[in-house]
Amino acid sequence: MPVDFIGIIGNRAGSEIQAPSGPIVDRVHIGALARAHEYAGFDWVYAGYHSNSPDNFQTIAYAAQQTETLRYLVAHRPGFIQPTVAAKNLASLDHFIGGKLGVNIISGDDADFRREGDFLPPEERYHRAGEFLEIVKTYWTSPVPFDHVGKYFRVENSLAAVKPLQKPSIPIFFPGTSDVAVDVAARHADVYALWGEEVEEVRAIVNKVRAAAKVYGRENHIRFSLSLRPVLASTEAAAWARAEDILAKAKALAEGEPAFPPAKSRPGGMQRLRDLATKGRVVDKRLWTEMAGLPNARGNTTGLVGTAEQVAESLLDYYDAGISVFLIRGFDPLEDSLQYGRELLPRVRAGVAERDARASRPVLAVSA
């Protein structure tokens, strides 16, 4: 199975070890980061969502003008605009960027939902996301006007004039490990998104989602993505020294940055990573958890530390567990993306090609 790599694009420079710099919408930085990922051989970049960040649809619309082949994954929170409007906006953006759009439907993070005026509890948000996706997919595909009456939305005589440019449709990514989230993903997702946990835990989640999708006849339709933070160096010792330096810088920056206070509550995925950090500094071969244990940890924080060969080997372990999409980002977003392109992506792709070639070879019968 082909493997895809997704990077991250932000609205300005900054990370856990780099204080934010430049204007809040830094077009120079956005363009440079998009071009760097394309040059490095990434398939996608992801524009996430936060209540106090610039509009990520606009970020992608601008970035896509700077690249030729790179695809763009936009995060979207259901509930703030009607699903027919969201479907139209996504389809329109897909046209403007040449049919290279994907959407990640996010329903976690209680505190950030409340900042924007949404006080539904998590389980309700996931139920709403399922109904939202039902309408969006109908809007994108129905050749005739349709009606919908549900718990969260009502639509009457709706028919799209603009449908996605790409066929069959815009790929839908969906995260969430609760039972209701897994059911929504089983019904609607093209890619189910996981956090960077232990290989066997990832394998168990993949199997759980596939089993849920089988109920809807979709067990072979869903791919699986995994988010990680690789830390590379020429030797394993140098990579761990770099990881220690990253941790020290992150702690120092967090102490002096009141804009990122310790989190009072976390989405389920982030809490799972925090729980993982209690198992030890390193789990599996080289899954580094210390960043996830910081009080103000945000997003995907677990990393793989080692040489490019060692980290590629670990990524291939996840591939063997069912992962075929990797969202990877560094702590120095621009330079790390280029390093991944030079050292990591080619090794993983070669390993995947070798595995796929072995799997396709005929088994020779042995005569008695």
Q: Has residue 272 been placed in a domain?
A: no
- Provide the 8-state DSSP code for 263: P
Helix or strand run (H / E) with residue 354 = helix 345-360
Residue 353 CB contacts under 8 Å (≥ 6 apart), including other chains: none
d(CA 26, CA 43): 23
C-alpha of 125 from chain center? 19
d(CA 21, CA 9): 15
Q: Has residue 364 been placed in a domain?
A: no
The total number of structural domains in the chain stands at: 1
Query: Environment class of residue 224 by beta-carbon count within 10 Å: exposed (0-12), middle (13-18) or buried (19+)?
Result: buried
- Residues 177-180: contacts with CB under 8 Å, at least 24 apart: 177/205, 177/268, 177/269, 177/272, 178/122, 178/123, 178/126, 178/268, 180/123, 180/126, 180/127, 180/130
Q: Has residue 46 been placed in a domain?
A: yes
- Would you state the pLDDT for residue 260? 45
Q: Has residue 288 been placed in a domain?
A: no
| Residue 173 belongs to domain spanning | 4-227+311-353
Tens-binned pLDDT, residue by residue, of the chain (368 aa): 899 999 999 999 999 999 999 999 999 999 999 999 999 999 999 999 999 999 999 999 999 999 999 999 999 999 999 999 999 999 999 999 999 999 999 998 899 999 999 999 999 999 999 999 999 999 999 999 999 999 999 999 999 999 999 999 999 999 999 999 999 999 999 999 999 999 999 999 999 999 999 999 999 999 999 999 999 999 999 999 999 999 999 999 988 754 445 555 556 677 888 889 888 899 999 999 999 988 767 778 999 999 999 999 999 999 999 999 999 999 999 999 999 999 999 999 999 999 999 988 775 555 44
Q: Has residue 160 been placed in a domain?
A: yes
Q: Has residue 235 been placed in a domain?
A: no
- Would you state the pLDDT for residue 364? 56
pTM for the model stands at 0.94
- Would you state the pLDDT for residue 181? 98
Q: Which residue has the tokens 């066997």?
A: 200
CATH number assigned to the domain comprising residue 38: 3.20.20.30
Q: Has residue 238 been placed in a domain?
A: no
Residue 143 CB contacts under 8 Å (≥ 6 apart), including other chains: none
User: What is the DSSP pairing of strand 154-158 with strand 146-149?
Assistant: antiparallel
Q: Has residue 240 been placed in a domain?
A: no
